[in-house]
Amino acid sequence: MSNVPFDGPIFDGLILGAHLATLDGANGYGEIADAALGWRDGVLTFVGPRSQLPGAPDALAREVIEADGWITPGLVDCHTHLVFAGERAREFEMRLQGASYEAIARAGGGIVSTVRATREADEAELLRQSLPRARALLADGATTLEIKSGYGLDFANERKMLRVARQVGEALGITVRTTYLGAHALPPEFKDRAEDYITAVCEWLPRLHAEGLVDAVDAFCEGIGFSPAQTRRVFDAARALGLPVKLHADQLSDLGGAALAAEFDGLSADHVEYTSLDSVRTMAAHGTVAVLLPGAFHVLRETKLPPLQAFRDNGVAMAVATDCNPGTSPLLSLRQAMQLACTHFRLTPEEALRGATQHASRALGLHDRGVLRVGMRADFVHWNVGHPAELCYWLGGQLAHGIYAGGRRL
């Protein structure tokens, strides 16, 4: 309940009657029935039963909304690559017809095709192509997005991607956290010179950070990506600037990537299908979040499950994200990612919802959202559902009735 004295309107807005899934507690949805949710200056100032309001609603708030259904925290998509040019639908078709990754690459496809298209697009064109993807995520409840670079693979184009990511947040009125992923793949001009390329990636980072374009640093630590030693060089450069790190870790093999991220007190290790028990324990010791990416698991028809029970047993928070990208996870709904996490990974609907709110916020280093609690940012979604489990039950459909970021309806 608010501590603001009752001397006139104390809320900018007040929603009455809906059920709240506050997620404020270790277990359960934190349900409040016939609730009141009030906010002022973009911050929640009342979360509780309607009966506990300190006066008549019309006298308390500038705007009063009667509602039914459920309200949850705004969804947080903590792992996306949504800024890119072009698409790779033809490759999807080729894979289904039996073409290998190598054959697709020889035909000019794969990540190199996205790099080429992204380099060719100017800033305005890149924004034009990226905004519809961001709007799709927002329409299904996402009020905070992480967006990575990694399809530029040179200074000018990595900078362009990060600038466009910032513009996405400004255009839509939502929070966008930018992640520098220069160590995503080896560009053609550095063929067989991975060490030289990592040197360049580390040299670009301070310049991009000085322009205010980098919130975190990521890398792809994998046999087809970069080695743990090369990843460590990137993380050392990030640490020198005081920047947090994240990591594409253990997706295709166990190179100890999750443990490496945790060693640097990483915000998250993402994918983590092959993460070992020792690495899980290291993540637990450092508070590193496991980000589950069921979209890529689904599209690639993988069978190796992440160590889900080990994460539970060791108290490692599990976030859920779309991994929205043109090659392996062309997924434009975080709610659909939640559904896939339940179907493929056997998460409960409550775990999936926490994964896309509370734990996803932690995976971005954001502690002012993810639960409905007085003092938190007024990011929330009003859903036309009879129970929160429906958010993971329905395959598609429009369930979001009202989406609010900082107390402003989007």
Quick one: 237 and 314 in the same domain? Answer: yes
The CATH number linked to 232 is 3.20.20.140
Residue 80 has pLDDT above 90, yes or no: yes
pLDDT of 94 over the 80 cut: yes
359 marked as binding residue: no
Structure tokens at 361: 């916020």
- Residue 1 included in any domain: no
Check whether 122 is labelled as a binding-site residue: no
Say yes or no: 270 and 403 in one domain. no
Shared domain for 313 and 285, answered yes or no, is yes
Residue 17 included in any domain: yes
243: containing domain:
75-363
Q: Of the given ranges (75-84, 106-115, 346-355), which has the lowest mean pLDDT?
A: 106-115
Lowest mean pLDDT among 40-44, 98-102, 158-162, 219-223: 98-102
Q: What is the pLDDT of residues 337-367, one digit of tens each?
A: 999 999 999 999 999 999 999 999 999 999 9
- pLDDT recorded at residue 95: 85
232-249 per-position pLDDT tens digit: 999 999 999 999 999 999
Mean pLDDT computed over 203-217: 98
Q: Within a domain: residue 95?
A: yes
Q: Does residue 289 lie in a domain region?
A: yes
Say if residue 215 carries a ligand binding annotation: no
Nearest to 23 by CA among 343, 398, 372: 372
Is residue 335 a part of any domain in this protein?
A: yes
Which DSSP helix (H) or strand (E) runs through 106? helix 101-106
> Which domain CATH number covers 390?
2.30.40.10
Predicted confidence band at 107 (pLDDT cuts at 50, 70, 90)?
A: confident
Instruction: Verify that 230 and 375 share a domain, yes or no.
Output: no
Check whether residue 405 and residue 357 sit in a common domain: no
Q: Are residues 251 and 306 in the same domain?
A: yes
4 within some domain: no
Q: Has 184 been labeled as part of a binding site?
A: yes
The string of pLDDT tens digits covering residues 18-57 is 999 999 988 899 999 999 999 999 999 999 999 999 999 9
- Check the annotation: does 408 bind a ligand: no
pLDDT of residue 391: 98
Q: What angle do CA 130, 134, 139 make, to 5 degrees?
A: 145
Tokens read off for 24: 């404020």
* One domain, residues 189 and 116: yes
Pairing type for strands 289-292 and 75-77 reads unpaired
Q: How confident is the model at residue 108 (pLDDT cuts 50, 70, 90)?
A: confident
157 and 218: one domain?
yes
- 332 and 384 in a single domain? The answer is no
Does the pLDDT at position 4 exceed 50? no
Is position 19 annotated in a ligand binding site? no
Is 82 inside a domain boundary? yes
128 is in an annotated binding site: no
pTM for the model stands at 0.96
Of the two residues 112 and 198, the one the predictor is more confident about is 198
* Annotated binding residue 27: no
Is 209 annotated to bind ligand? no
Total domains, the chain: 2
Residue 253 lies in a domain: yes
**Cα 201 → chain centroid:** 23
